[in-house]
């Protein structure tokens, strides 16, 4: 037992003991993609500021971001430390794949196939220094397998649109709204019944991963094993979850998981920043994955070329401030925009439906035009349209005419900005990373 010297006043001893009791050891885990790491580092910073010891398991390319949060990086070692901007270099089966083929190969090779090696890394770290609480994004299957193998609880910090299966509604990811009448409810039930059949390749891959770490094959689909039965802290809000009432009590929406950023310094702003003054601004972004600018950026800047609008288009790669084609005179190009400073000035965002960018825009009341083509993007587009805060283009490769019509509609109808304001108010009310940290503290 700890012994205090006699010179320490009794009240000091009580306070110090209380502080030591509160301090916990946390290991946070995120797949090495910016859209997964960024929300978890926001939570890490909150935990560090509360006096906890925080480690963060992810790819080594995120060392500076992790360490800036105050956490210690535990890099992928046995697991292949890939580059999110060149995933196919590590997983060659992804070359040339889009749509459902990309989705299945991406999940099998990148998320499921790396899980046994993730377990090996986590086991080595646990043996070196145990932790009190393990929390992972919902695609870190290695965290699930490690926890099940060691029979310990874990928490899910959901950084994607909530893919949690329930007794009602269609399977998430299909971009379908929950049924509201007998016909569409029957459709939802039929689709839920098809999930095990459609997911057979994933179930087989999960079984291989389970056997590789010494577990029995469970036959579970991905969505039925990656969410913690103890705690889910989910980014987003009820207005972006179709207002569903069939969610479990251990699910807590926490709004936008983002770090509070300091005001941008003039030296950090693009040279064209002053041109934003007094202009109507439209942001065009394809996020950081699947960033072929011909998909969305090119038709968007073409659609807006003759408008009295200043278009800010991002390449998705820091330092890459140009596209491989000429842009109209009213377009400005940057690798990464200072979103904290830019979004409050934006009138409309055109996006491919990345969840983090969608939440960042809506949290500031910015209405959207969403071109969700693959992965979880169609689901994001559907949720935004259901909330009334934007238009769903129902494709990831829209024509310029479709973009122009959607922009006219969103800018011309006040209902979109009103709905974006409602969603933004709800997102801001849910506490963000601070609330997620508080929920994780309750796991100790």
Tens digits of per-residue pLDDT, 125-148?
Answer: 999 999 999 999 999 999 999 999
Chain-wide mean pLDDT for the chain? Answer: 89
CB 441 within 8 A of CB 24: yes
Give the list of residues 6+ apart from residue 437 with CB closer than 8 angstroms, or none: 43, 46, 47, 50
Q: Which of 28-42, 92-106, 199-213, 353-367 has the lowest mean pLDDT?
A: 92-106
Residue with structure tokens 């083929």? 101
Q: What is the DSSP letter of 417?
A: H
Global pTM value: 0.88
Please report, rounded to a whole number, the percentage of residues in the chain having pLDDT higher than 70. Answer: 91
Helix or strand run (H / E) with residue 182: helix 182-198
Q: How many angstroms from the chain centroid is the CA of residue 46?
A: 18
Please tell me the predicted confidence (pLDDT) of residue 286.
83
Taking residues 336-360, what's their average pLDDT?
A: 92
pLDDT of residue 98: 61
Among candidate residues 384, 84, 423, the one with its CA nearest the CA of residue 237:
423
Containing H/E element for 27? strand 25-29
Given a cut of 80, is residue 16 above it in pLDDT? no
251 confidence band (pLDDT: 50, 70, 90): very high
Q: What domains, with CATH codes, occur in the chain?
A: 21-259+430-441 (3.40.50.2000), 266-412 (3.40.50.2000)
- Kindly report, residue by residue over 44-89, the tens digit of the pLDDT: 999 999 999 999 999 999 999 999 999 999 999 999 999 988 888 8
- What is the rounded distance in angstroms from the CA atom of residue 247 to the CA atom of residue 255? 16
Query: In angstroms, what CA-CA distances link 415 with 195, 277, 381, 424?
Result: 36, 25, 17, 14
* Average confidence (pLDDT) over 9-21: 41
pLDDT of res. 6? 45
365-368, long-range: CB < 8 A, 24+ apart: 365/417, 365/420, 365/421, 365/424, 366/283, 366/420, 367/410, 367/416, 367/417, 367/419, 367/420, 368/410, 368/420
Using the structure block, give the residue that is written with the tokens 């790396």: 114
């Amino acid at each position: 037992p700890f012994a205090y010297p006699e010179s320490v006043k009794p009240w000091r001893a009580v306070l110090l003991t209380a502080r030591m009791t509160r301090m916990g050891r946390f290991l946070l885990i995120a797949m090495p993609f910016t859209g997964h790491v960024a929300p978890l580092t926001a939570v890490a910073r909150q935990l560090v500021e509360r006096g906890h010891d925080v480690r963060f398991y992810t790819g080594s390319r995120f060392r500076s971001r992790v360490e800036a949060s105050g956490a210690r990086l535990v890099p992928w070692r046995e697991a292949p430390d890939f580059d999110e901007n060149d995933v196919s270099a590590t997983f060659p089966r992804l070359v040339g794949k889009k749509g459902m083929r990309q989705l299945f190969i991406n999940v099998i090779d990148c998320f499921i196939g790396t899980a046994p090696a993730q377990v090996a890394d986590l086991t080595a770290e646990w043996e070196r220094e145990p932790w009190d609480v393990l929390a992972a994004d919902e695609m870190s299957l290695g965290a699930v397998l490690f926890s099940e193998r060691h029979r310990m609880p874990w928490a899910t910090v959901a950084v994607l649109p909530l893919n949690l299966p329930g007794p009602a509604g269609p399977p998430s990811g299909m971009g379908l709204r929950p049924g509201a009448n007998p016909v569409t409810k029957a459709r939802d039930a039929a689709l839920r019944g098809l999930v095990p059949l459609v997911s057979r390749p994933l179930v087989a891959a999960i079984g291989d991963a389970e056997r590789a770490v010494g577990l029995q094959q469970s036959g579970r689909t991905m969505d039925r094993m990656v969410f913690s039965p103890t705690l889910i802290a989910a980014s987003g809000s009820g207005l972006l979850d179709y207002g569903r009432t069939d969610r479990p009590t251990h699910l807590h929406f926490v709004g936008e998981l983002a770090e509070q950023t300091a005001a941008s310094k003039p030296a950090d702003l693009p040279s064209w920043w002053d041109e934003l003054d007094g202009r109507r601004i439209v942001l065009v972004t394809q996020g950081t994955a699947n960033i072929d600018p011909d998909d969305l950026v090119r038709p968007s800047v073409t659609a807006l070329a003759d408008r009295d609008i200043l278009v800010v288009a991002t390449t998705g790669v820091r330092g890459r401030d140009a596209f491989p084609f000429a842009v109209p005179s009213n377009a400005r190009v940057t690798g990464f925009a200072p979103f904290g400073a830019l979004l409050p000035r934006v009138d409309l965002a055109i996006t491919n439906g990345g969840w983090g960018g969608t939440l960042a825009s809506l949290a500031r009341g910015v209405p959207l035009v969403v071109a969700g083509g693959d992965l979880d993007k169609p689901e994001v587009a559907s949720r935004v349209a259901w909330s009334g805060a934007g238009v769903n283009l129902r494709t990831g490769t829209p024509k310029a005419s479709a973009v122009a019509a959607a922009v006219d509609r969103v800018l011309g109808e006040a209902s979109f900005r009103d709905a974006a304001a409602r969603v933004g108010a709800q997102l801001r009310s849910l506490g963000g990373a601070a609330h997620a940290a508080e929920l994780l503290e309750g796991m100790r």
